[in-house]
Amino acid sequence: MKAATIQLETLTCPSCLQKIENAVKGLNGVEKDSVQVMFNSSKVKVNFNDEQIEIGDIEKAITALGYGVKKSSVKSV
Amino acid sequence: MQRWILGNKNKIVLINGSLIAFAFASKWMLENLTLFHWGLAIAAILGVLPIAIQAYQALRVKVVSIDVLVTIAVTGAFLIQNFEEAAIVTFLFLFGAFLEQRTLIKTRSAIKELVEMAPETALKQMGDGEFKEVSVDEVDVGDVLLVKTGAKVPVDGRVISGEGSVNEASITGESLPVAKEVDSYVYAGTILDNGTIYIKADRVGEDTTFGRIIELVEEAQDSKSAAERFIDRFAKYYTPVVLLMGFVVWLISRNLELAITILVLGCPGALVIGVPVSHVAGIGNGARFGILLKGSEVISDFSRLDTMVFDKTGTLTLGSPSVAETEYYGGQSEQALAFLGSVERESDHPLAKAVLEAIGEVELYDVSDTEVIKGEGIIASVDGHCVAVGNQALMERENVRINEKALADLKRLEKNGSSQVLTAVDGELKILMGVRDQIRPGVKEDLQKLSRLGVKNLVMLSGDNQGTVDVVSSQLGLTAAHGNMLPEDKSQYIKDLMERGEIVAFVGDGVNDSPSLALAQIGIAMGGGTDVAIETSDVVLINSDFRRLPHALGLAKAIVRNMKQNIAIAVGVVLFLLAGVLFSDWMNMSIGMLVHEGSILVVILNGMRLLRYKLR
């Protein structure tokens, strides 16, 4: 299991949160309850199983919605 | 294509706006209706593109977002050939989003400043002994780093060679430089004013004190109160319901115009953004003033505070007491002083330091069989003698006889607010010392400010005797003061207050008061040890600066006030629009969108006022 913190470009609409949350939750290998989209700091925190999915795939799901990813950091848990 | 459109939203708004201006100009000046309609139609198509793309993306992840409502509304307007409405609505929506973005950046500016103070690079010693510039992410614990004059210390660590002076304002709020030499500890984010130092990394990245502060601030600004979670849940179902409502209205009335107007009016604008905006601006203001409010529950509790309970020593007083009077009884005073010094040398009690300072250089003996009796003192065996050092209760426990003169001395010391340190050797009283602690400068004014802010009771609790406590209490003008209290008595006292339904804050040193700190709704640790204070406190005062306390309380109240105003504005606007569509004939999509976007800007601007909040 890995824990990722993904720094996004500044989020400006609260409804973005729900989109990102649903998109990330919908990915296979992502621990659904761990998904946390932080509006003010424009960050996504998520735990995922690195045997099923890579951080790049999660980033791709977010950029596909039109939100830029600045930087991700992944830690083992 | 999608990316290009979303990336060039600002240009699209500009063209969209110009086209609308051009269309109206052709209508009024050229009286050319063909140009008017074409201009608006193109503006509407161009404007709806980015909105429709966002709507599509939202629907793909099963979210009915505002974009969906607006896209349907604009398409509807287009179908009934109301190009004017379609174009203006897209313009207002896009332009509003643009302004929102601009103003939101402002509300977050204070926290951004803080984050940007974080160091980014470090000069790290590589395998060949040379120093090379690397990103701080590549620094590991144990690495040797070089810090030059003017540079930021990249990680927490210990100086291994060199010396210099460091500005630690980012950690402690203290702007006077602090001298650092070999073995001194330096903190990430502080700035080396002059000199050159080599440090060994001890804590890196998010584990550094500065990293912890940033993380806590970021967590705090995004923590959600019960009310906010409710709004979020509400918003999730709100937009689909509005969509359904529009559809039902259309089915019943067969009036597409009315149906799409409802879609636009139903956008949940200010309600969703109002609370987080107040939050982030308020917490940002705190961060600027060295105050960290840990999240919305804390802000809400703190703002409704009834009683503030203070630990005395180290909180209301400086905590570095000194011996004011010394009395000797019986003979062999010198030997007794040496015994006292030997015992106190092993204690970390705050009074011990004062006693040692007063004694000065004495012959020291080995101490054995040390027994610490909580709240009373120490019993130990020194050079074959039984030595008891502590308060009157300890003397009674040890059956030490206290003569008339000593009793009178004790009375006097109690009256003038001194703590008493009695020393008995083999059951005979030898020395009595009166130790006094000075009141922190400015505390009285700060306490007055707190009561002006509406704190009903200011209470002081202390392990010292009642006399000492009363003296300090009357000097400070407290509501109540209780002495002779053990740590468990203090937490019991707080429990009792809370059971009476009061909201209680406890301000203590964060070491022996941790039960009380944890128990009170608001715990504020004043311990100089930054880590403990940061972890255990609900309200963190950087550098444990008591003077920031009134500002913290005032700020919490201002944030809550601001949130309530924003909620009132948002709800008021929805009611106004609803009334407009039901009871008037001038309400249409464009006005609805204008009022919506206007109200969003109003709540953001209102939230921004918190950035400038200052306690009068």
Give which of A20, A22, A40 to mutate to test B binding, by max B Cβ within 10 Å: A40
Angle in degrees, CA B12, B17, B19, rounded to 5: 95
| Domain boundary pick from B408, B436, B464 | B436
* More reliable by pLDDT, B380 or B169: B380
Q: Is A41–B272 a contact, with Cβ atoms under 8 angstroms apart?
A: no
**Shortest Cα distance, chain A CAs vs residue B394, angstroms:** 51
In a domain, B424, yes or no: yes
Q: Which residue of chain A comes nearest to B600, CA vs CA?
A: A13
Cα distance between residue B275 and residue A40, in whole Å:
11
DSSP letters for B382-397: ETTEEEEEE-HHHHHH
Cα distance between residue A18 and residue A25, in whole Å:
10
pLDDT 10s digits, B201-242: 999 888 888 888 788 777 777 777 666 677 677 777 878 888
Q: Which residue of chain B comes nearest to A40, CA vs CA?
A: B222
In a domain, B111, yes or no: no
DSSP H or E segment with residue B43: helix B33-60
Question: Which of B232-241, B357-366, B387-396 shows the lowest per-residue confidence on average (mean pLDDT)?
Answer: B232-241
In a domain, B114, yes or no: no
User: Which is the catalytic residue, given B311, B409, B464, B513?
Assistant: B311
CA torsion through residues B575, B576, B578, B582, sign:
positive
Q: Is A66–B235 a contact, with Cβ atoms under 8 angstroms apart?
A: no
pLDDT 10s digits, B454-478: 999 999 998 877 877 888 888 888 9
- Percent of chain B past pLDDT 90, that is, above it, reads 24
**Shortest Cα distance, chain A CAs vs residue B7, angstroms:** 9
In this prediction, residue B525 carries a pLDDT of 82
In a domain, B257, yes or no: yes
In this prediction, residue A77 carries a pLDDT of 77
**Residue B523, token pair as written in the block:** 């715990």
Q: Does A10 touch chain B (CB under 8 A)?
A: yes
Q: Supply φ then ψ for residue B538, to 5 degrees.
A: -90, -35
CA B217 to each of CA B159, B212, B220, B285, B567: distance values in angstroms, whole numbers, following the listed order: 28, 9, 5, 11, 24
In this prediction, residue B29 carries a pLDDT of 86
CB B588 within 8 A of CB B85: yes
Residue A25: give the domain boundaries. 2-76
Give which of A6, A10, A11, A15 to mutate to test B binding, by max B Cβ within 10 Å: A15
Nearest to B62 among A22, A64, A65 (CB): A22
The answer, yes or no, to whether residue B340 has pLDDT greater than 70, is yes
- Reported as a pLDDT band with limits 50, 70 and 90, residue B510 is low
Q: Does A66 touch chain B (CB under 8 A)?
A: yes
The answer, yes or no, to whether residue A37 has pLDDT greater than 60, is yes
Q: Which residues between 23 and 52 in chain A have a beta carbon less than 8 angstroms from any beta carbon of chain B?
A: 23, 26, 38-41, 43
Angle in degrees, CA B7, B8, B11, rounded to 5: 160
Judging contacts by C-beta atoms under 8 Å, the chain B residues touching residue A7 are none
Give this prediction's pTM: 0.73
| Domain boundary pick from B436, B467, B489 | B436
Residue B528: give the domain boundaries. 291-318+439-544
Cα distance between residue B465 and residue B251, in whole Å:
80
CB B413 within 8 A of CB B290: no
In a domain, B233, yes or no: yes
Cα distance between residue B119 and residue B206, in whole Å:
12
Judging contacts by C-beta atoms under 8 Å, the chain A residues touching residue B65 are 15, 18-19
Residues of chain B whose beta carbon is less than 8 angstroms from a beta carbon of chain A are 2-3, 6, 53-54, 57-58, 61-63, 65-67, 97, 100-101, 104-105, 108, 111, 137, 218, 221-222, 235-236, 272-273, 276, 279-280
The position carrying tokens 């429990």 is B495
**Shortest Cα distance, chain B CAs vs residue A11, angstroms:** 8
DSSP letters for B384-445: TEEEEEE-HHHHHHTT-B--HHHHHHHHHHHHTT-EEEEEEETTEEEEEEEEE-PBPTTHHH
Outline where chain A has alpha helix (H).
Answer: 14-25, 55-63
Residue B124: give its domain's CATH number.
2.70.150.10
The answer, yes or no, to whether residue B529 has pLDDT greater than 90, is no
* More reliable by pLDDT, B422 or B585: B422
Cα distance between residue B544 and residue B387, in whole Å:
37
Cα distance between residue B150 and residue B147, in whole Å:
9
In this prediction, residue B487 carries a pLDDT of 79
Residues whose CB is less than 8 angstroms from the CB of residue B359 and which lie 6 or more positions away in sequence, other chains included: B337, B340, B341, B344
- Reported as a pLDDT band with limits 50, 70 and 90, residue B613 is very high
Do B431 and B336 fall into the same domain?
Answer: yes
Bridge partner residues of B166 (DSSP): B178, B192
Q: Is B54–A66 a contact, with Cβ atoms under 8 angstroms apart?
A: yes
Judging contacts by C-beta atoms under 8 Å, the chain B residues touching residue A10 are 101, 104-105, 108
Bridge partner residues of B433 (DSSP): B326, B421
Do B479 and B505 fall into the same domain?
Answer: yes
CB B301 within 8 A of CB B425: no
Nearest to B280 among A18, A40, A73 (CB): A40
Cα distance between residue B377 and residue B422, in whole Å:
9
Exposed/middle/buried for A55, CB within 10 Å: 0-12, 13-18, 19+?
middle
Total of domains in chain A: 1
Question: Which of A15-19, B133-137, B151-155, B561-565 shows the lowest per-residue confidence on average (mean pLDDT)?
Answer: A15-19
Do B206 and B156 fall into the same domain?
Answer: yes
In a domain, B613, yes or no: yes
The position carrying tokens 């505390």 is B443
ipTM for the predicted complex comes to 0.82
**Shortest Cα distance, chain A CAs vs residue B126, angstroms:** 24
Q: Is A66–B53 a contact, with Cβ atoms under 8 angstroms apart?
A: yes
Residue B451: give its domain's CATH number.
3.40.50.1000
- Percent of chain B past pLDDT 70, that is, above it, reads 96
Do B33 and B93 fall into the same domain?
Answer: yes
Q: Supply φ then ψ for residue B100, to 5 degrees.
A: -55, -45
Nearest to A18 among B236, B276, B280 (CB): B236
Q: Is A66–B6 a contact, with Cβ atoms under 8 angstroms apart?
A: yes
Residue B383: give its domain's CATH number.
3.40.1110.10
CB B23 within 8 A of CB B43: yes
The answer, yes or no, to whether residue B511 has pLDDT greater than 70, is no
The answer, yes or no, to whether residue B169 has pLDDT greater than 80, is no
Cα distance between residue B332 and residue B100, in whole Å:
80
Q: Is B67–A15 a contact, with Cβ atoms under 8 angstroms apart?
A: yes
Judging contacts by C-beta atoms under 8 Å, the chain A residues touching residue B62 are 22
Nearest to B57 among A13, A38, A66 (CB): A66
pLDDT 10s digits, B107-118: 787 777 777 888
pLDDT 10s digits, B532-557: 667 778 888 877 788 889 999 999 99
Q: Which residue of chain B comes nearest to A72, CA vs CA?
A: B137
Cα distance between residue B25 and residue B3, in whole Å:
32
In this prediction, residue B368 carries a pLDDT of 86
Nearest to B105 among A10, A13, A65 (CB): A10
Cα distance between residue B339 and residue B386, in whole Å:
10
Do B331 and B375 fall into the same domain?
Answer: yes
**β-strands B457-461, B307-311: how paired?**
parallel
pLDDT 10s digits, B236-284: 787 888 889 889 988 998 888 888 888 888 776 777 788 888 888 998 8
Total of domains in chain B: 5
* pLDDT, mean of residues B117-126: 88
Helix axes B209-222, B270-288, angle to 10 degrees: 150
Tell me if residue B446 is catalytic.
no
CB B260 within 8 A of CB B76: yes
DSSP SS3 for B372: strand
Nearest to A14 among B6, B137, B272 (CB): B272
Question: Which of B252, B266, B251, B156 lies closest to B578, judged by CA?
Answer: B266
In a domain, B579, yes or no: yes
Judging contacts by C-beta atoms under 8 Å, the chain A residues touching residue B3 are 66
The position carrying tokens 């502060």 is B213
Do B450 and B311 fall into the same domain?
Answer: yes
Q: Which residue of chain A comes nearest to B115, CA vs CA?
A: A41
Give which of A20, A24, A41 to mutate to test B binding, by max B Cβ within 10 Å: A41
Please report, in angstroms and rounded to a whole number, the separation of the first and last CA atoms in chain B: 54
Cα distance between residue B102 and residue B86, in whole Å:
25
Cα distance between residue A18 and residue B236, in whole Å:
8
CA B587 to each of CA B119, B431, B575, B593, B594: distance values in angstroms, whole numbers, following the listed order: 54, 88, 13, 10, 11
Q: Which residue of chain A comes nearest to B233, CA vs CA?
A: A18
Judging contacts by C-beta atoms under 8 Å, the chain A residues touching residue B607 are none
**Shortest Cα distance, chain A CAs vs residue B174, angstroms:** 27
Do B538 and B481 fall into the same domain?
Answer: yes
| Domain boundary pick from B509, B544, B579 | B544
CB B421 within 8 A of CB B394: no
Q: Is B61–A43 a contact, with Cβ atoms under 8 angstroms apart?
A: no
Do B285 and B297 fall into the same domain?
Answer: no
Residue A9: give its domain's CATH number.
3.30.70.100
In a domain, B25, yes or no: yes
* pLDDT, mean of residues B588-599: 86
Cα distance between residue B281 and residue B604, in whole Å:
9
Do B391 and B355 fall into the same domain?
Answer: yes
DSSP B544: G
Residues whose CB is less than 8 angstroms from the CB of residue B66 and which lie 6 or more positions away in sequence, other chains included: A13, A15, B239, B267, B268, B269
Give which of B3, B49, B61, B95 to mutate to test A binding, by max A Cβ within 10 Å: B61
The answer, yes or no, to whether residue B126 has pLDDT greater than 80, is yes
Cα distance between residue B587 and residue B102, in whole Å:
29
Do B408 and B444 fall into the same domain?
Answer: no
